A and B are shown apart, each in its own frame.
Chain A
Amino acid sequence: MDRLKILADGAKYDVSCSSSGSSRSNSGGVGSAASCGICHSWTSDGRCVSLLKILMTNRCIYDCAYCVNRRSNDVQRVALSPAEVAELTIGFYRRNYIEGLFLSTGVVRSADYTMELLIQAVRTLREQYRFNGYIHLKLVPGADPLLVQQAGLWADRVSVNLELPTRESLQLLAPDKSRDSVVGPMRQVSSLITANRAERKQSRKVARFAPAGQSTQLIVGATGESDRQIVTLSEQLYQRLELKRVYYSAFIPTVADTRLPARPEAPLRREHRLYQADWLLRYYGFAAHELLDEASPNLDSELDPKTGWALRHLELFPLEINRAGYEELLRVPGIGVRSAQRIIRARRQGHLGTDDLASLGVVMKRARYFVTARGRYAGDAGLDSNGLRSRLLDRPLQKRPVQLSLALEQPVRDETASLITGEL
């Protein structure tokens, strides 16, 4: 029990939590992976729990300044064997506590030896327990390309953490890791995924390689990089290496080190804005240079990046909701992917008015200033950058009295449910 605690404690700073993007079906054993991903619980910091996130061991030969498990930090060192990891995963999984396993580790002896341990745990799960659930495996920087390839064949997702946005900061804070030892496996995985996709087009029998793709993590606020540098880096990772996700982790000092900034509070707001910008890159067709430029290299802490962009481009607004194209709709603050799709669908059956928009899921609090519906402008003030800005600022929500709805319990019993719903 104590070992689990220590190893979970060491892994919790890895922010990747997703269990999506892979759909494995159950072929005789236990488990499946849902392509949408399933959260099973939420901790008291509000982060979701979807995977059993642990370290194989917290022993480490490296001495990275930001890491709890660094060699020079005085913590109790423990390890789990591959068999123990597998047993624990299955026990939790069968009780539906988790969606799968996220296995990371400190580096023991050598990168290759450590990588082999990880692979062994995953193989035990897949072969011995016939486990079809989701597995996210960390690649150890500097591991042999052959091992990297094997890892991708057993896992759903693999990742190497970039940790620091630039070569220089990595050199400063993680002197044992080189940028190349991190980017090398990333490149390899990227090309293996591409090759695997092509092969699977030829024949479905070819085994999947990392079907949920690869991700990485950046620590934000430990070094002096600007948001512009970070967002531009992410854009390149998405475009060139086709990463599925880049995670951002607000730097929380876990060990004292003179190389690290003294920070009373973790830059959580900044992390949040980076995630918003990241979403704009991946789903909204924005480019990094549209969100940030040399004149303003950091994201506005008071406004979300899309609203910020819109305020800088008032010449494009207001947009007529009944005529605008999908890509244009996506750029309106308050309209997301879903509501944009709904607008397109709903307006085929007739023109939409402002009242309709709210029921389609548009956040009118923001959108009203940027759209017209049937030619009518819904904002209560004109399109003027300064006035709008103050209206749109993120303020804590005021609690307004709402009508209480009395739900009368009405039991509906039926025996024919199974017949009608066609489930049985």
Chain B
Amino acid sequence: MSGCYCYDGTLAGLLSLYARLLAERVVVERISATPPDQQSLFSSEIYIATDQAVAEAFWQRLTRRLSSHSLKLLRHCLLADHPQQELLIYTYLLLEAEQGKRVDGMLAHPAVAPVWKLSQQVGREAHRYLGFVRFQQLQGGLYYAAIAPDHRILLLIGAHFAERFSDQQWVIHDQRHNEGILYDAEKKEWLLLPMELHAQPEITPQEIQFQQLWRSYFTTLAIPERRNLKLQQGKVPLKVRGYLTEFMA
């Protein structure tokens, strides 16, 4: 049995799929997420139904079995936004089933290297976004930040901001993936929620002043004799500049 598989796009669905395929060591060509109502269109794909119980049992077995290193890899890959992440993870899990904890060190193995690279990409992006988040103070005191990262890194950066800004109410909104983190300063808790922007947030006069101060500070900092726009663009790609106060006109 080999071929193309699909699932309903949820994490539970993906885990149900892994549980089924791994049990029989199925060789897989492709795994894709398909909305359930469209499954008939893709008749060549085998649809694996989501089973919450199977998914949870599988995840628990996995967390017990895998080293913390492997778990971190998988967690990062699950948050990635990559056309083949499901298949990459499956191939990794197959190798792990065969080799056990030895996979940790097999960095150059063709089943491990792509997972590790993807995980690194996600991890690096998450780290960059510790710096690339810009809060704006809104009427009412809420600090709002919009971002549009390539991967779904919110879960990786939430704890950092929760610790750092534990005494202010804030929201980080991932506009690309339409989800956001809401932090509640009273309960000291944060939540990942689906999120959409309906109107431009209203900012305070004080906020405008701080933004101006920051922009003028930022432009002053550069030393003209050292101008190096290429280096700057490598560090701050154009795609993120729209969200950074210092690059806004």
- List residues of chain A with CB within 8 A of the CB of B225: 252, 265-266
Report the nearest A residue to B128, measured CB to CB.
Answer: A39
Is B4 in the interface zone, CB < 8 Å from A?
A: no
Is A360 in the interface zone, CB < 8 Å from B?
A: yes
The CA-CA distance from A346 to B105 in the complex, in Å, is 5
- List residues of chain B with CB within 8 A of the CB of A94: 135, 137, 143, 165, 168
| B246 with A34: CB separation less than 8 A | no
Q: Could you tell me the distance in whole angstroms from the C-beta of B249 to the nearest C-beta in chain A?
A: 15
| B192 with A360: CB separation less than 8 A | no
| B226 with A45: CB separation less than 8 A | yes
Is A29 in the interface zone, CB < 8 Å from B?
A: yes
Interface size of A by CB at 8 A reads 72
Interface hits, A382-424 → B, CB 8 Å: 406-418, 420-421, 423-424
Q: Give per-residue flags for B155-177: 1 if the beta carbon is below 8 A from chain A beta carbons, else 0.
A: 10011110111111000000001
The CA-CA distance from A265 to B59 in the complex, in Å, is 60
Is B140 in the interface zone, CB < 8 Å from A?
A: no
Report the nearest B residue to A413, measured CB to CB.
Answer: B9
Q: Could you tell me the distance in whole angstroms from the C-beta of A226 to the nearest C-beta in chain B?
A: 23
Given contacts A41-B244, A423-B159, contact A34 B108 (CB under 8 A): no
Is B25 in the interface zone, CB < 8 Å from A?
A: no
The CA-CA distance from A40 to B75 in the complex, in Å, is 25
| B222 with A44: CB separation less than 8 A | yes
Q: Could you tell me the distance in whole angstroms from the C-beta of B96 to the nearest C-beta in chain A?
A: 13
Given contacts A96-B135, A359-B113, A424-B192, contact A26 B107 (CB under 8 A): no
The CA-CA distance from A421 to B153 in the complex, in Å, is 12
Interface hits, B173-195 → A, CB 8 Å: 177, 189-192, 194
| A414 with B107: CB separation less than 8 A | no
Q: Give per-residue flags for A345-371: 1 if the beta carbon is below 8 A from chain B beta carbons, else 0.
A: 110111010011101100000000000
Is A49 in the interface zone, CB < 8 Å from B?
A: yes
Given contacts A1-B213, A8-B220, contact A30 B81 (CB under 8 A): no
Interface hits, B1-41 → A, CB 8 Å: 9-12, 14-15, 32-33
Given contacts A411-B177, A417-B11, contact A4 B83 (CB under 8 A): no
The CA-CA distance from A410 to B86 in the complex, in Å, is 11
| A420 with B11: CB separation less than 8 A | yes
The CA-CA distance from A392 to B116 in the complex, in Å, is 30
A8 contact from B81, B106, B137, B221, Cβ within 8 A: B221
Interface of A is mostly: loop
Report the nearest A residue to B247, measured CB to CB.
Answer: A41
Q: Could you tell me the distance in whole angstroms from the C-beta of B53 to the nearest C-beta in chain A?
A: 12
Inter-chain CB contacts under 8 Å: number: 201
| A4 with B192: CB separation less than 8 A | no
Q: Could you tell me the distance in whole angstroms from the C-beta of B156 to the nearest C-beta in chain A?
A: 9
A43 contact from B75, B134, B158, B218, Cβ within 8 A: B218
Q: Give per-residue flags for A19-51: 1 if the beta carbon is below 8 A from chain B beta carbons, else 0.
A: 000000110111110101011111111111110
| B105 with A417: CB separation less than 8 A | no
Report the nearest A residue to B191, measured CB to CB.
Answer: A424
| A96 with B133: CB separation less than 8 A | yes
| A49 with B221: CB separation less than 8 A | yes
Is A9 in the interface zone, CB < 8 Å from B?
A: yes
A345 contact from B75, B107, B155, Cβ within 8 A: B107
The CA-CA distance from A349 to B105 in the complex, in Å, is 6
Q: Could you tell me the distance in whole angstroms from the C-beta of B35 to the nearest C-beta in chain A?
A: 10
Is B42 in the interface zone, CB < 8 Å from A?
A: no
Give me 10 A-to-B residue pairs in the complex whose CB atoms sit less than 8 angstroms apart, sorted by A's number: A26-B164, A30-B167, A42-B235, A49-B218, A95-B136, A96-B133, A97-B214, A99-B131, A410-B32, A424-B192
Besides A46-B235, A407-B83, 10 other CB < 8 A contacts?
A41-B131, A44-B232, A46-B228, A92-B213, A96-B134, A252-B225, A266-B225, A342-B107, A345-B105, A412-B33
Mark B residues whose CB is within 8 Å of A.
9-12, 14-15, 32-33, 55, 59, 75, 78, 81-83, 102, 104-109, 113, 127, 130-137, 143, 145, 152, 155, 158-161, 163-168, 177, 189-192, 194, 210, 212-214, 216-218, 220-232, 235-236, 244-246
